Amino acid sequence: MKRTVGHLADGREIIYFDADPDRTRTAVDTRDLPPQAPASEIRRDPLSGDWVAIAAHRQARTYKPPADQCPLCPSRPGHPTEIPESDYDVVVFGNQFPSFAQHIPGFDGTVDGIEQVPAGPARGQCEVVCFTSDHDSSFAQLSQDKARLVVDAWADRTAELAGLPGVEQVFCFENRGEEIGVTLHHPHGQIYAYPFVTPRTAKELATAERYLRERGTPVQGDVLAAERAGGQRVLVESEHWTAYVPAAARWPVEVHVVPHRQVPDIPALTGPERDDFAATYLDVLRRLDRLYDRRLPYVAGWHQAPVHTGRDAAWLRMEVFSVQRTADRLKYLAGSESGMAVWINDATPEQIAARLR
């Protein structure tokens, strides 16, 4: 893999990841872009203790452009895009409309003097990861070598973002499909570097640490062993990874892809583990696309350990889920899910696993 760093017209960093070690990247961003001036802040909900990001500047972000105006395709004569080069393998660059950013004016205080609602700058980072230059493709259609290149890009960015001042957690994810809320259809994902540990991770780590104290073994490891032994919900089992539908799945389609070895994050994966993940994950995504004979809308995200806490109890996993509950019906988050975070699934995990197998 060759890694080439450049900058866009407004100063944002762009990084090309190429399979060809001899590939050179010299194209210049010719657009006239104003300097970025994100002004996001975070406010803590006094009732839940959760941090909420306020990023009003994102209202102006790109919304469902036609394919010939896609900002994630390579640049062509007369149409410069976010990627100055005329082609690419995998590319990562700073989000033009970030929820979290490094250069936000510093302030620490409260909202309207309410001491129970502290606020501060939303310092972190938001990046875009383009998986392929082919606008009409998808992650599931990548070759295994190209998928492995994406894994290496995720690992590179996780390691670098984790070293930024104030970053507490790095989340690599992909949203696909209008049903999920996607506004750019080019195959891409995002990476968020948060200035706090996310609520879900904090809750899972508390559970994992309590289990480890009481049992002396990691909960994810015990669940993985039980799922592999039973096999009823297992979809794919390889040398280093197992993909299964969790027994308490929240979503109508939900798959966890878990390494057989406890590792905290993507950078900790070995070369053979990364190769094997690429093959296993592509198998899972292709099964998902055959479930209803269409490209399944989904969210796919890496659950990694926080940067500074919980790393002994954490166990890396990739989680993929979809709101598509039948071929022509969606799962809407109604009162119980949205209001009380009590999930009700309309299909059994065993039924979904059998269909995906």
C-alpha span between 54 and 142 (Å, rounded):
35
Was 186 annotated as part of a binding site? yes
CA pair distance 317, 48, nearest whole angstrom: 26
Question: Are 84 and 28 spatial neighbours (Cβ–Cβ below 8 Å)?
Answer: yes
What sign does the CA torsion over 286, 290, 296, 299 have? negative
User: How, if at all, do strands 90-94 and 51-54 pair?
Assistant: unpaired
- Apex CA 33: angle with CA 31 and CA 36, to 5°? 145
135 in a labelled binding site: yes
**70 annotated binding-site participant:** yes
Q: What is the DSSP secondary structure assignment for residue 222, as one 8-state letter?
A: H
- Catalytic residues, by residue number, are 188
Residue type, 4: T
CB 131 within 8 A of CB 91: no
SS3 156: helix
Q: Residue 100: helix, strand or coil by DSSP? A: coil
Which residues belong to the annotated binding site for Zn(2+)?
70, 73, 135, 186
